[in-house]
Amino acid sequence: MPVQRGLPTAPAAEQSLVQFKTLLATEVDPGDPRPSLRELGTIGEGSTSVVRLARHLPDNSLVAIKKMNITTQQRPELLINEAVLMRTFSHPNILKMFSSHIIGNELWVIMEFMDCGALTSVLVNTRLSEKQIATICVPILAALVFLHDNGVIHRDLKSDSILLASDGRIKLSDFGFCATVTPANPRRRSLVGTPYWMAPEVIARAPYTTAVDIWSFGVLVIEMVDGEPSLFNEPPSLAMCLIKDKFTPHLKHPESVSATAPLSLMPLDIRRPCATTSRRAFYFQQSAHLQSFLNATLERNDAKRATARDLLHHPFLSLAGSTTCLRPLLKKIIRQK
């Protein structure tokens, strides 16, 4: 679960909520979008938000509506990121936002619909080849280059933040925790993010830069290989302590037999189970280029950590191909929906 620090409670919170809604109203789009939408069902749900699929009646297109309850947010000011910062982003690998509105005590953000959902749903049941991993890495890194060049730290990068579409589009989403930096103030200190993906300097409450996204990206690559991040079976608080002090995330079973097919297509004799995992219980040998790629992202010294632009030139990404190599996976997801 993402970590964030809370705000005062009632009655002070009630006053601040009214003030915040007034502020937020100056940032969102005017009008009520409901007459132009027909909601079709729920496609995602969290502790303080729900995502609904809807048809936009004027052009008959499908859109996603993220509805966030303003009254239950621990840090409602972060909703400004959802309403404002997303609107300023225009990049082929960043989820497109169409409009935002206040409806009652909810902030509605209307976004493009990605019909295959989050990358997480792929990783739970499917073994990705290194070619597929590299292919997914390229658009994610391109999005990070764009954000970092524009002084934005995402701060919550993980497989849940990567959305896929059946036509091969791959997009970065979930900007609620993002922060801006400037040349004059290039570092932040807030403790935000999701524990297993947090960089050690974030957990230590040390000043940090865009390099924290690179650490989280490295953990995301581990997710794509192992099906889950390092320490996923440990309580979040223990995982954070270990990462802060000395632990560097790593692949679980590098000596296992190589394989490139989805689990459902693999001969049983090349699978190796591990009874302690909670997502997927099979691990495979990684190439030297992949290990080098991970080492560049998971450098504990953030000043020595690779940048997103550096990583785009890493030899591992020479394996990347067209997103057509992902289509068998994406078709499988569509069939299961």
Domain extents in the chain: 12-112, 117-336
Q: Give the fold, CATH level 3, of 12-112.
A: Phosphorylase Kinase; domain 1 (3.30.200)
Residue 224 pairs in a beta bridge with none
For residue 76, the model assigns a pLDDT of 79
φ, ψ at 108 (rounded to 5°):
-105, 125
For residue 124, the model assigns a pLDDT of 86
Active site residues: 156
First to last CA, the chain: 25
For residue 30, the model assigns a pLDDT of 93
For 42, the 3-state DSSP assignment is strand
Domain 117-336 belongs in CATH node 1.10.510.10:
yes
pTM of the predicted model as reported, rounded to 2 decimal places: 0.86
From the list 124, 33, 24, the residue with the least C-alpha distance to 81 is: 24
For 309, the 3-state DSSP assignment is helix
pLDDT in tens, the chain (337 residues): 665 544 334 445 565 778 888 889 999 999 999 999 999 999 999 878 899 999 999 999 999 999 999 888 888 778 888 888 778 889 999 999 999 999 999 999 999 999 999 999 999 888 899 999 999 999 999 999 999 999 999 999 999 999 999 999 999 999 999 999 999 999 999 999 999 999 999 999 999 999 999 999 999 999 999 999 999 999 999 999 999 999 999 998 765 434 443 333 333 333 333 444 445 444 455 789 999 999 999 999 999 999 999 999 999 999 999 998 998 888 888 877 6
Distance of alpha carbon 121 from alpha carbon 296, whole angstroms: 27
For residue 16, the model assigns a pLDDT of 75
179: left (phi over 0), alpha (psi -120 to 50) or beta: beta
DSSP state of 244: H
Distance of alpha carbon 70 from alpha carbon 143, whole angstroms: 28
For residue 253, the model assigns a pLDDT of 72
Distance of alpha carbon 72 from alpha carbon 105, whole angstroms: 10
For residue 307, the model assigns a pLDDT of 99
- Long-range pairs, 261-266, Cβ under 8 A, ≥24: 261/127, 261/129, 262/125, 262/126, 262/127, 262/328, 262/329, 262/332, 263/125, 263/126, 263/127, 264/125, 264/126, 266/127
CB neighbours of residue 188 within 10 Å:
17
Q: Binding residue per annotation — 304? A: no
Which residue, chain included where needed, has tokens 């049941």? 125
Residue 208 pairs in a beta bridge with 188
Distance of alpha carbon 133 from alpha carbon 144, whole angstroms: 16
Distance of alpha carbon 163 from alpha carbon 172, whole angstroms: 6
